[in-house]
Every structure is written in C-alpha cells, then in structure tokens.
C-alpha cells in the first residue's frame, strides 16, 4: 500500500513539473491555460490519492479522513475546469490576442 502511495505521489509530482515548464515556456495566455487547467487537476488528484493510501494504512478512525480527502478531490475536479473557463472567458472579453505563428 505504501509503495502504491509513493508511486502515485511521484507521478503527480512529475506531472506538476510538466505543468510548470509548460506554464513558463508557452507563448501566450491561451496555451498557458492548457497547461494550467490539465496538469493542475491531474497532478493534484494523483497526489491526494497517494495521501489517501498513506492515511488508510494507519488504521483507527482514519477512513473518515480518507473520505474528507475524497471530498477535496471532488471539489478540485469540479472547480478547476470551471475556474479555467471563467479565466479564459475573461481573457477573451478583455481582448487578449491569440498567438499566431507569424506574430513573432
């Protein structure tokens, strides 16, 4: 169980590194949104699943903590794409230009 937890957490950290590099290297706001919206959700969900695995090995009343972490996962899973839409829409309405190949 602990090995599974470590595998999940390190996979999540690798995906988070990819998200960060994408956030730093992409040329415009819209494509940065791609990296943020996807990598953020997946890496957080993976790391929290690993936390559930660690918690459930400790015994006692810890299944309640596992359920609470599952509730956090639920909120992130619903909230993160919705926040991404809201920010994309704000950028579109505020007039951010999409990046083209010949614009640089």
Q: How many Å apart are CA 100 and CA 104, to the nearest integer? A: 8
What does the DSSP 8-state code read for residue 100?
A: -
Beta carbon of residue 59, minimum distance to other proteins (angstroms, whole number): 13
Q: Which of residues 44-63 bind other proteins (CB under 8 A)?
A: 44, 47-48, 51, 54-55, 61-62
Identified binder of other proteins from the candidate list 2, 6, 10, 90, rule CB under 8 A: 90
Q: Count of residues for the chain?
A: 104
Identified binder of other proteins from the candidate list 2, 7, 57, 96, rule CB under 8 A: 96
Q: Which of residues 6-45 bind other proteins (CB under 8 A)?
A: 15-16, 18-44
Considering the complex, state which of residue 4 and residue 99 has its C-beta at the smaller distance from other proteins.
99
3-state secondary structure of 28: coil
38 closest CA partner among 8, 14, 16, 65: 16
Q: How many Å apart are CA 95 and CA 89, to the nearest integer? A: 10
Under rule CB under 8 A, residue 1 binds other proteins:
no
25: tokens are 């290297």
Beta carbon of residue 10, minimum distance to other proteins (angstroms, whole number): 13
């Amino acid at each position: 169980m602990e090995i599974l937890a470590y595998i999940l957490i390190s996979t999540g950290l690798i995906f988070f590194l990819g998200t960060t590099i994408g956030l730093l290297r992409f040329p415009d706001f819209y494509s940065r949104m791609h990296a943020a919206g996807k990598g953020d959700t997946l890496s957080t969900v993976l790391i929290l699943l690993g936390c559930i695995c660690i918690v459930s090995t400790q015994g006692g009343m810890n299944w309640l903590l596992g359920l609470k972490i599952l509730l956090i996962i639920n909120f992130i899973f619903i909230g993160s794409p919705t926040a991404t839409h809201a920010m994309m829409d704000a950028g579109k309405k505020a007039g951010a230009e999409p990046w083209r190949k010949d614009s640089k």
